[in-house]
């Protein structure tokens, strides 16, 4: 046959047949079984064709129609004899029904109690889980509140520290102003008695800042000055140290490269050398002017042109 033309097909057919036979044997021996007649569940009821009856013999078929009895038959005697049997049967039947009913009720009560216990256990578990969740949420809220309080306290401490610093600076400025007023006869005091004035606006008044230097030439900022400089020329000392004019309204350090002759005169100055922090033209010019006016000690053994530097610091007065 063409469908069994290979070794594998034949082997497959054999195994299929074996497995099919095994399945059929299993079905016939261990498969689903049925009862003839099938089993019934519930309370067993006696076979009968009427609502009343008497006797101990159970007929298997329907009874014949009842025969009318004559007056000579001891009907009443038979009834008297048979009545107790009926009563015994009727009295014996109810306990069976009652027992079955009680079993059903008892079983239902047990199932209801078990279900109730399960529901109660589930409810208790849910309550416990809710309590745990509430506790965790409360702890989280406490942590957040504590963190917020800590941050608020840090902010408040910073604000208090800043306010104290500002107040301290204000008091220091007020004390400095008071000292200056006492030294210079009421500078910055509108009720002063000094005469004259100084400035470049062609209006009456003393131009400048109450915290400035009366000898400074600048009018802007909080008052300031140019330092006398840091003089570097080997072992030679600066004999004259003119301060640069401070009128640029800028601060910073200016390094000036200088060339000095044997007599101590500065013959050239180049501001803005390395180390300068502010290259504003105004500051460079003021530094150069002051450097050219500087006088160093003479030295006959010095080079004809000795190179050095001067460092000027321009800053506002504190």
Q: Across residues 174-199, what is the average pLDDT?
A: 60
- Between residues 111 and 137, which one has the greater pLDDT? 137
Q: Across residues 294-310, what is the average pLDDT?
A: 93
Confidence of residue 106 (pLDDT cuts 50, 70, 90): confident
pLDDT digits 0-9 by tens, 120-163: 999 999 999 999 999 999 999 999 999 999 999 999 999 999 99
Q: What is the pLDDT of residue 89?
A: 47
pLDDT digits 0-9 by tens, 234-281: 889 999 999 998 888 889 999 999 999 999 999 999 999 999 999 999
What tokens were used for 114? Answer: 């078990």
Confidence of residue 177 (pLDDT cuts 50, 70, 90): confident
User: Please, what CATH class does the domain formed by 224-316 belong to?
Assistant: alpha beta
Alpha-carbon distance 156 to 163, whole Å? 10
Alpha-carbon distance 289 to 126, whole Å? 90
Q: Which of 71-85, 213-227, 291-305 has the lowest mean pLDDT?
A: 213-227
Instruction: Report how far apart, in Å, the C-alpha atoms of 124 and of each of 111, 118, 121, 298 are.
Output: 20, 10, 5, 105
CB 302 within 8 A of CB 236: yes
Alpha-carbon distance 128 to 108, whole Å? 30
**Distance between the two ends of the chain, CA-based, in angstroms?**
118
Q: What is the pLDDT of residue 218?
A: 47
Q: Which of 70-79, 95-104, 300-309 has the highest mean pLDDT?
A: 300-309
Average pLDDT over the chain reads 77
Instruction: Report how far apart, in Å, the C-alpha atoms of 137 and of each of 123, 125, 129, 149, 211 are.
Output: 21, 18, 12, 18, 59
User: Residue 37, preceding bond cis, omega within 30 degrees?
Assistant: yes
Measured at the CA of 291, the angle between CA 318 and CA 226, to 5 degrees, comes to 5
């Amino acid at each position: 046959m063409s469908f069994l033309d290979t070794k594998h097909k034949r082997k497959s057919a054999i195994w299929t047949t074996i497995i099919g036979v095994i399945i059929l044997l299993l079905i016939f021996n261990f498969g689903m079984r049925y009862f003839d007649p099938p089993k019934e569940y519930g309370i067993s009821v006696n076979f009968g064709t009427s609502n009343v009856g008497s006797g101990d013999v159970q007929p298997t078929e329907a009874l014949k129609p009842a025969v009318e009895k004559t007056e000579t038959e001891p009907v009443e005697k038979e009834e008297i004899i048979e009545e107790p049997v009926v009563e015994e049967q009727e009295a014996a039947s109810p306990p069976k029904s009652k027992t079955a009913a009680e079993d059903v009720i008892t079983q239902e009560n047990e199932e209801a109690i078990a279900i109730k216990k399960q529901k109660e256990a589930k409810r208790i578990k849910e309550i416990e889980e809710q309590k745990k969740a509430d506790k965790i949420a409360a702890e989280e809220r406490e942590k957040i509140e504590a963190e917020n309080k800590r941050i608020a306290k840090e902010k408040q401490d910073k604000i208090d520290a800043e306010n104290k610093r500002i107040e301290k600076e204000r008091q220091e400025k007020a004390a400095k102003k008071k000292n200056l007023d006492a030294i210079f006869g009421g500078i910055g005091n509108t009720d002063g008695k000094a005469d004259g004035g100084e400035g470049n606006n062609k209006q009456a008044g003393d131009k400048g800042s109450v915290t400035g230097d009366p000898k400074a030439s600048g009018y802007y900022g909080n008052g300031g000055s140019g330092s006398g400089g840091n003089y570097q020329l080997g072992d030679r000392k600066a004999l004259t140290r003119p301060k640069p004019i401070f009128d640029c309204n800028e601060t910073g350090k200016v390094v000036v490269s200088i060339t000095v002759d044997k007599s101590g005169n500065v013959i050239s100055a180049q501001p803005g050398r390395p180390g300068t922090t502010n290259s504003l033209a105004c500051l460079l010019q003021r530094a150069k002017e002051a450097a050219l006016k500087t006088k160093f000690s003479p030295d006959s053994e010095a080079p004809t042109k000795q190179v050095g530097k001067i460092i000027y610091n321009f800053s506002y007065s504190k």
